[in-house]
């Protein structure tokens, strides 16, 4: 799970963050102000400072925030001047937007605030819908407005060109003040809450920010998105009363608390109305005690009443935002917050500790118990080395004897630092009676109870003002130390001692700034250093336990005397944890360090002595093993010759018509020969016309085992070379899912044993992925690319690797990256197995939990009639009113299930607005009839309409894959190189799911995941990227145009500029793959194109040549091998979609090859050959009579290399 942050504010206004992978609160270093409250999202954090202004902290990322400004220059032709700036009075502005209605001169663009900066100057866009324009970027038309073309015609009377300029957000990881409005400013703010990112994915990074002013008004910040993180303006939301606090969830839940203690619920929040439409009143959980705080998530609402009781609202969801009733929960809190996954944090009423609600799941939203987050803050005294030395010198080791309940014990010494570099206390301190027996008792009562300060209860932000009012001016007299003691009214007693606080010196010398103090005593740093010159014992060993506490109470303010930090606010809106997260927040690190200290003092053995001792034992054991084995070297190796049979009852999808499932007996007979090799035979026993027959297949002929999961049966398919040609595998169904996976694991191990394959895939392996996300690898041989008799594709053996991916890429150095359906990036860890593979079929390490999320789509179809308009009553020949995309299969909301039993729903059905062609406000697309071209607006000729519904499901499995957060990717490519090459840093390029081009830095054999991303600027979003063996980078933009990146090298890994390459005529490209010298692309119509004329001096090439059609994906290897995923491949029974195919006859003099060889299929979606740098075997033809043997496969039924006509069927 990616690392995320929990944010909190202490009572002094200092902002801290706690990482899900950390064990320490980190203070925001660049914050020079105190904050009242913060509210966090995954990418940013908002806060209200003590000046009541709102600040924004955007988390730094390798992907910058860039915004594209554009304007159009318009010109009209006249007989005298030709094209000029002199336009007709009825024409548009000379500089305008795309519509021509808005005046936009170049000098009229201003930066929104000081947090933005220009990346460069204005320049002309020379791209028109994927096609490059002439050099100056002009497009022509007959008049304004019209359809523009890149070619100038005789009737082109007007022209225009687009100017672009980018601005970049520069205030990353720092608190930036939200700029004031030009109109009337809102009142000072007292509360703030952000959320709403789950309402809609458009625009990108959309957020809802709600704020409450001191006068009880509610304001909404409009225009917040990824490209405008600050938003645009404040809009007041009408209210039925005065509000004191508000909470916004990730979805459409917004609740607020009124001054009278009642609660308000915002209704009508949707994709088109982020602010909602109306308020509904909900009574307080306790009619006698009003509410003071509320917190909402996706489907939960928590509240705190004025008596600090915690309440949970049941029955809350998007359809019923008000819920149905309150449930009282255990605990007393001053505030509460709901974060991601409906996880809950709170701050205790008495101890001001941050608590986490443990045990919250999707089925148990209220959780089980409260767990205190017990981690130190950055620079806390209890974790300095000097503090530990002081405890050791006192002879007190607390190793678990003193435990802290809700209030941590004094022995933990989690006490605030004084502000100086060091301080000497010569002041006596009176310790009350209970303190004398502190070492004898195990009581958790603090020994400094008489001096414990009063903590004001938090009903608003007034408690921070109360703390601020206690601050006193700093003393300038050298007698400030003694006067400070008098002000605290401390009476000398038995605890009198002189102490040098060496631990404070240690913490401040480390470079951290001194913590600001809030007390009646404020010592100047220079005075402390002056007093320090009179230091008495300079050794920490002379300190006692009581002296440490005495010193701290004498010089600290009353709040700093507490043994743990006092928190005022917490926000988990950006903290991604769930019930399975492994967090290191709940164990006291001090006790751990004390136990280690006790152990280290009890064992007087140095680390060097321990290392020597272990090495000596290892050498003795090695020598003993060698002596014992020498006595048996003359014995022959024992070879087990045995036969082993496993039987079971299954169902078989019979080969002849009518095809149906019949009951069979299935048996695997495995035997080992005299040479130790294992082999086996599969038997399927069935009855045919009351006659017993059987079907068999040799294990060493099985090429792949594919699980086929569906709702009705647990089936899997067995392929052999002959059945691969027929596209008709052996299909078997087990009684249970467990039985199916047992057979799959057993058969997979048997197949690997018969072929001598063990362990993880080799560096040269070929990786492929099915349409269901299953991952398979094949070990290539040198004969695979041999000329003229290569190994047929249908004889390749594929074995499954655990995990679930959408695409994968690799190179011959063993670096493998994959991308899931949810755009999460994964790197191969070096293991094998995982998933349903257990025992010998799986490695014991390098396996990790992997999750993936995908959307399931169904369509709602309607037809128009003159009486009732659009209804669900269609014609008898129409498609189902609820169907899949094709309309051939009925798919209803209740009847549609996840892709397989391994997937679970994680959301409800929702309208999908991100459909190609656009939608209206309700998600509908219109057309003249089914099926046709759909558009997002209604015309007079549209008689049918449809809209798409989406629902997300989640898969959890295991595999040899490690996650690479936090940027989500849509494509990745790794430099293909020879197996013998030595590359310090491997070039790796990727495209984010938003279309940004990225270059990964620090990718090596030791760190295959790399270290950071380098953003490569583009004028438009990309969808495909590929890098060749000579560092030539090609990309495809989302508009279907091709680009070449110039000057990419080891010294300049990101290159310098993009060159626009014209696409094939009337085609939009969708994927590109680059090998050693070859460049292949696939367009949206399934055509495969080869780039001619590519040379080292002219790497852009000259023209496109059509190779084949019915192609889904292409992969070009480091030796220019060409492999594809093809559709419509003819089998013995039907056409097969998603078939692995290999291009035959590819040679340096003929890089386009001659014909196709069919491999495994169908149902395949992706393949990469980019790791196979194995040189092909050369076969001598001198003894052969036929100098031109026939290729082992005929061409695809698509089109041959030389064909230039329309694609064949």
Cα distance between residue 719 and residue 1089, in whole Å: 31
**Distance separating alpha carbons of residues 118 and 108, to the nearest angstrom:** 14
Mean predicted confidence (pLDDT) in 201-209:
82
Of residues 997 and 271, the one with the higher pLDDT is 997
Please give the residue that has the higher pLDDT: either 204 or 265: 265
Question: Model confidence at 452, in pLDDT bands (50, 70, 90)?
Answer: very low
pLDDT of residue 439: 40
Instruction: Return d(Cα 77, Cα 100) in angstroms, integer.
Output: 17
Neighbours of 700 (CB within 10 A): 16
Return mean pLDDT, the chain: 80
pLDDT at residue 911 above 60?
A: yes
pLDDT the model gives residue 182: 52
- Look at residue 1066 and tell me whether its pLDDT is greater than 60: yes
Q: Which residue has the higher pLDDT, 606 or 871?
A: 871
What does the pLDDT read at residue 105?
94
Q: What's the whole-number mean pLDDT along residues 92-118?
A: 92
> What does the pLDDT read at residue 562?
46
Query: For residue 675, what pLDDT band results from cuts at 50, 70 and 90?
Result: low
Full 3-state SS string of 992-1028: ECCCCEEEEECCCCCCCCCCEEEEECCCCCEEEEEEC
The three-state secondary structure class of 338 is: strand
For 177, phi then psi, to 5°, come to -75, 135
Per-residue confidence (pLDDT) for residue 33, from 0 to 100: 82
How far apart are alpha carbons 691 and 468 in whole angstroms?
A: 95
Per-residue exposure over 76-93, b if at least 16 CB sit within 10 Å of its own CB, e if not: beeeeeebeeebeeebbb
**pLDDT band, very low/low/confident/very high, at 220 (cuts 50, 70, 90):** very high
- Check residue 188 and give its pLDDT: 87
pTM (2 decimals)? 0.77
Structure tokens at 491: 């009476």
In Å, how far from its chain's centre is CA 395?
49
pLDDT per residue as tens digits for the range 2-35: 788 999 999 999 999 999 988 899 988 766 789 9
Whether the pLDDT of residue 432 is over 60: the answer is: no
pLDDT band, very low/low/confident/very high, at 582 (cuts 50, 70, 90): confident
The per-residue pLDDT for 1105 is 95
pLDDT at 1200: 36
Distances (CA, A) of 167 to 33, 65, 82, 154, 746: 28, 8, 35, 39, 59
Q: So what's the pLDDT on residue 32?
A: 74
Rounded mean pLDDT, 262-271: 92
Span 781-797, average pLDDT: 86
Give the pLDDT confidence score for residue 609 in this predicted structure.
Answer: 65
Residue 611 or 964, more confident: 964
Question: What pLDDT is attached to residue 846?
Answer: 85
The pLDDT assigned to 679 comes to: 85
Residue with tokens 């509460």: 336
The per-residue pLDDT for 605 is 53
Question: Which neighbouring-strand residues pair with 1144?
Answer: 1155
Tell which residue, 1154, 1108, 1151, 1104, has the closest CA to residue 1129: 1108
Residue 826: C-alpha distances to residues 242, 560, 772, 959, 964 (Å): 50, 46, 17, 10, 6
Spatial neighbors of 287 by CB under 8 A, at least 6 apart, are none
Residue 391 pLDDT class (50, 70, 90 cuts): very low
Read off the pLDDT of each residue in 923-944 and give the average, rounded to a whole number.
91
Question: Average pLDDT, stretch 958-976?
Answer: 93
Q: Is the N-terminal amide bond of 317 cis, ω within 30° of 0?
A: no
pLDDT digits (tens, 9 = 90+) for 166-179: 999 999 989 999 87
Range of lowest pLDDT (147-161, 398-412, 658-672, 1026-1040) = 398-412
Choose between 188 and 2: higher pLDDT.
188
- For residues 239-254, give the mean pLDDT: 94
Asked whether the predicted pLDDT for residue 1154 surpasses 60, the reply is yes
1151, pLDDT greater than 70 = yes
At 1135 the three-state DSSP class reads strand
The partner residues of 500 in beta bridges, in order of sequence, read 424
Q: Are 242 and 76 in contact (CB under 8 A)?
A: no
Question: 335 is written with which tokens?
Answer: 């505030």
Beta bridge partners of 879: none
Top-confidence residue, 1205 or 975: 975
Q: For residues 780 and 764, is the Cβ–Cβ distance under 8 A?
A: yes
Q: Which tens digits make up the pLDDT trace of 751-764?
A: 998 888 888 999 99
Comparing C-alpha atoms, which of 282, 283, 286, 312 is closest to residue 299? 312
- Asked if residue 208 lies in contact with residue 296, where contact means CB atoms within 8 angstroms, the answer is no
Tell whether the model's pLDDT for residue 395 goes beyond 50.
Answer: no
Per-residue confidence (pLDDT) for residue 513, from 0 to 100: 44
Q: What is the DSSP string of 1081-1121?
A: EEETTS-EEEEES--SS-TT-SEEEEEESSEEEEEE-TT--
Confidence of residue 625 (pLDDT cuts 50, 70, 90): confident
User: For residue 748, what are its two tokens?
Assistant: 């997979």
**Tokens for 1069?**
């490209």
Between CA 334 and CA 356 the distance in angstroms is: 14
> Can you tell me the distance from the alpha carbon of 274 to that of 42, in angstroms, rounded to the nearest whole number?
19
Please indicate whether residue 546 or residue 1 has the higher confidence score (pLDDT): 1
Q: Is the pLDDT of residue 1103 over 90?
A: yes
- Mean pLDDT highest for which of 212-221, 426-435, 458-467, 839-848? 212-221
What mean pLDDT is predicted for residues 459-474? 42
Mean pLDDT of 650-678: 85
> Is residue 797 a contact partner of residue 755, using CB atoms and an 8 Å limit?
yes
At residue 448, does pLDDT exceed 80? Answer: no
Looking at the predicted structure, is the pLDDT value of residue 536 above 80? no
Give the integer Cα–Cα distance in Å for 913 and 200. Answer: 9
Q: How far is Cα 463 from Cα 9, in angstroms, rounded to an integer?
A: 13
In this structure, are residues 20 and 6 in contact, taking their beta carbons and an 8 Å threshold? yes
Angle between helices 545-555 and 480-487 (to 10 degrees): 90
| The pLDDT of residue 1186 | 46
Q: Which regions of 812-960 does DSSP assign to beta strands (E)?
A: 816-819, 825-828, 848-865, 869-871, 882-883, 903-905, 910-912, 925-927, 944-959
Percent of the chain past pLDDT 70, that is, above it, reads: 77
Q: d(Cα 22, Cα 584) in Å, to the nearest integer?
A: 7
**Mean pLDDT, range 362-391, rounded to an integer:** 71
Is 70 exceeded by the pLDDT of residue 143?
yes
Predicted pLDDT of residue 927: 94
What is the predicted pLDDT for the residue at 607? 57
pLDDT-derived band at 1190 (thresholds 50, 70, 90) equals very low
Comparing C-alpha atoms, which of 452, 398, 1170 is closest to residue 767?
1170
90-99, 469-478, 1136-1145: least confident range? 469-478
Q: Residues 587-592: what's their mean pLDDT?
A: 51
């Amino acid at each position: 799970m990616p690392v995320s942050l929990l944010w909190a504010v202490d009572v002094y206004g200092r902002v801290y963050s706690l990482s899900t992978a950390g064990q320490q609160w980190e203070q925001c270093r660049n914050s020079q102000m105190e904050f009242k409250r913060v509210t966090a999202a995954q990418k940013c954090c908002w806060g209200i400072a003590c000046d009541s202004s709102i600040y924004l902290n955007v988390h730094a990322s390798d992907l910058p925030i860039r915004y594209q400004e554009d304007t159009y220059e318009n010109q009209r032709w006249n007989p005298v001047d030709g094209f000029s700036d002199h336009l007709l009075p009825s024409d548009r502005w000379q500089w305008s937007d795309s519509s021509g209605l808005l005046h936009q001169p170049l000098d009229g663009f201003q930066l929104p605030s000081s947090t933005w900066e220009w990346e460069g100057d204005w320049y002309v866009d020379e791209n028109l819908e994927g096609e490059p324009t002439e050099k100056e970027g002009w497009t022509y038309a007959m008049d304004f407005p019209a359809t523009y073309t890149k070619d100038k015609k005789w009737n082109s009377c007007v022209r225009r060109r687009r100017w672009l300029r980018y601005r970049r957000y520069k205030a990353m990881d720092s608190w930036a003040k939200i700029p004031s409005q030009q109109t009337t400013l809102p009142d000072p703010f007292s509360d703030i809450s952000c959320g709403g990112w789950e309402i809609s994915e458009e625009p990108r990074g959309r957020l809802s920010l709600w704020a409450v002013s001191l006068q009880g008004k509610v304001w909404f910040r409009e225009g917040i998105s990824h490209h405008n993180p600050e938003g645009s303006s404040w809009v007041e939301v009408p209210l039925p009363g005065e509000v004191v606090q508000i909470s916004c969830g990730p979805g459409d839940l917004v609740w607020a608390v009124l001054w009278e203690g009642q609660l308000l619920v915002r209704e009508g929040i949707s994709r088109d109305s982020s602010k909602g439409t109306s308020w509904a009143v909900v009574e307080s959980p306790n009619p006698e005690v009003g509410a003071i705080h509320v917190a909402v998530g996706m489907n939960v609402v928590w509240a705190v009443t004025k008596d600090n009781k915690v309440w949970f609202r049941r029955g809350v969801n998007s359809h019923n935002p008000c819920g149905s009733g309150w449930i009282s929960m255990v605990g007393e809190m001053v505030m509460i917050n709901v974060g991601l996954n409906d996880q809950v944090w709170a701050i205790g009423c008495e101890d001001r500790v941050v608590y986490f609600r443990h045990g919250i799941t999707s089925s148990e939203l209220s959780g089980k118990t409260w767990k205190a987050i017990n981690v130190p803050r950055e620079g806390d005294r209890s974790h300095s080395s000097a503090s530990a030395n002081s405890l050791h010198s006192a002879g007190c080791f607390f190793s678990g004897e003193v435990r802290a309940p809700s209030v941590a014990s004094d022995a933990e010494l989690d006490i605030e630092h004084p502000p100086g570099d060091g301080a000497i206390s010569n002041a006596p301190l009176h310790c009350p009676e209970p303190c004398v027996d502190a070492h004898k008792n195990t009581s958790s009562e603090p020994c400094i109870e008489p001096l414990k300060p009063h903590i004001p209860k938090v009903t608003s932000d007034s408690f921070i003002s109360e703390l601020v009012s206690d601050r006193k001016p700093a003393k300038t007299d050298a007698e400030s130390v003694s006067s400070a003691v008098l002000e605290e009214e401390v009476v000398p007693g038995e605890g009198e001692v002189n102490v040098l606080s060496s631990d404070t010196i240690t913490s401040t010398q480390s470079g951290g700034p001194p913590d600001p103090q809030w007390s009646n005593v404020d010592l100047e740093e220079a005075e402390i250093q002056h007093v320090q010159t009179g230091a008495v014992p300079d050794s920490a060993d002379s300190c006692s336990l009581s002296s440490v506490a005495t010193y701290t109470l004498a010089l600290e303010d009353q709040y700093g005397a507490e043994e743990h930090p006092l928190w005022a606010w917490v926000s988990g809106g950006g903290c991604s944890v769930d019930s399975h997260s492994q967090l290191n927040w709940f164990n006291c690190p001090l006790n751990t360090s004390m136990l280690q200290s006790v152990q280290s003092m009890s064992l007087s053995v140095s680390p060097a002595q321990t290392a020597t001792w272990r090495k000596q034992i290892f050498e003795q054991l090695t020598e003993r093993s060698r002596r014992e084995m020498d006595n048996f070297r003359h014995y022959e190796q024992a070879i087990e010759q045995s036969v082993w049979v496993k039987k079971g009852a299954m169902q078989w999808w019979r080969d002849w018509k009518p095809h149906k499932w019949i009951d069979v007996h299935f048996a695997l007979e495995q035997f080992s020969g005299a040479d130790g090799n294992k082999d086996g035979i599969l038997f399927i026993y069935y009855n045919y016309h009351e006659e017993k027959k059987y079907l068999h297949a040799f294990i060493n002929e099985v090429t792949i085992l594919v699980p086929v999961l569906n709702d009705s049966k647990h089936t899997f398919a067995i392929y052999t070379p002959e059945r691969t040609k027929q596209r008709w595998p052996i299909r078997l169904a087990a009684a249970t899912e467990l039985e199916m996976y047992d057979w799959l694991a057993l058969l997979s191990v048997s197949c690997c044993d018969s072929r001598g394959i063990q362990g993880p895939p080799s560096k040269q392996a070929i990786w492929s992925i099915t349409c269901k996300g299953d991952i398979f690898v094949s070990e290539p041989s040198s004969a695979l690319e041999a000329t003229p008799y290569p190994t047929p594709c249908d004889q390749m053996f594929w074995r499954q690797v655990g995990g679930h991916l959408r695409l994968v890429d690799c190179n011959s150095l063993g670096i493998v990256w994959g991308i899931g359906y949810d755009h999460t990036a994964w790197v191969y860890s070096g293991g094998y197995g995982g998933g349903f593979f257990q025992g010998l079929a799986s490695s014991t390490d390098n396996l990790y939990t992997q999750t993936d999320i995908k959307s399931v789509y169904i369509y709602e179809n309607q037809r128009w009639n003159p009486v009732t308009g659009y209804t669900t009553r269609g014609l008898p020949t129409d498609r189902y009113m609820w169907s899949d995309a094709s309309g051939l299969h009925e798919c209803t909301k209740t009847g549609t299930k996840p892709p397989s039993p391994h997937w679970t729903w994680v959301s409800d059905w929702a309208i999908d607005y991100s459909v190609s062609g656009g939608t209206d406000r309700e998600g509908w697309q219109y057309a003249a009839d089914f099926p046709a071209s759909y558009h997002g607006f209604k015309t007079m000729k549209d008689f049918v309409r449809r809209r798409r519904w989406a629902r997300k499901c989640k898969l959890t499995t295991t595999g040899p894959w490690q996650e690479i957060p936090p940027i989500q990717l849509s494509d990745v490519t790794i430099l293909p190189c020879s197996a013998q090459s030595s590359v310090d840093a491997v070039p790796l390029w990727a495209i984010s799911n938003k279309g940004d081009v990225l270059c990964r830095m620090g990718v090596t054999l030791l760190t295959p995941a790399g270290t950071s991303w380098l953003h490569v600027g583009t004028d438009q979003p990309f969808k495909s990227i590929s890098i060749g063996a000579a560092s030539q980078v090609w990309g495809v933009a989302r508009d279907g145009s091709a680009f070449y990146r110039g000057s990419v090298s080891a010294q300049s890994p990101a290159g310098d500029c993009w060159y626009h390459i014209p696409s094939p005529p009337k085609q939009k490209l969708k994927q590109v793959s680059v090998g050693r010298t070859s460049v292949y692309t696939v367009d949206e119509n399934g055509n495969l194109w080869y780039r001619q004329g590519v040379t080292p001096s002219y790497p852009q090439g000259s023209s496109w040549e059509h190779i084949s059609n019915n192609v889904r994906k292409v992969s070009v290897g480091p030796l220019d091998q060409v492999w594809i995923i093809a559709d419509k491949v003819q089998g013995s029974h039907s056409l097969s979609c998603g078939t692995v195919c290999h291009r035959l006859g590819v040679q340096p003099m003929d890089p386009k090859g001659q014909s196709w060889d069919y491999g495994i299929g169908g149902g395949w979606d992706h393949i990469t050959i980019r790791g196979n740098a194995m040189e092909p075997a050369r076969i001598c033809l001198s003894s052969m009579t036929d100098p031109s043997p026939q290729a082992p496969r005929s061409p695809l039924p698509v089109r041959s290399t030389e064909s230039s006509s329309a694609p064949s069927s």
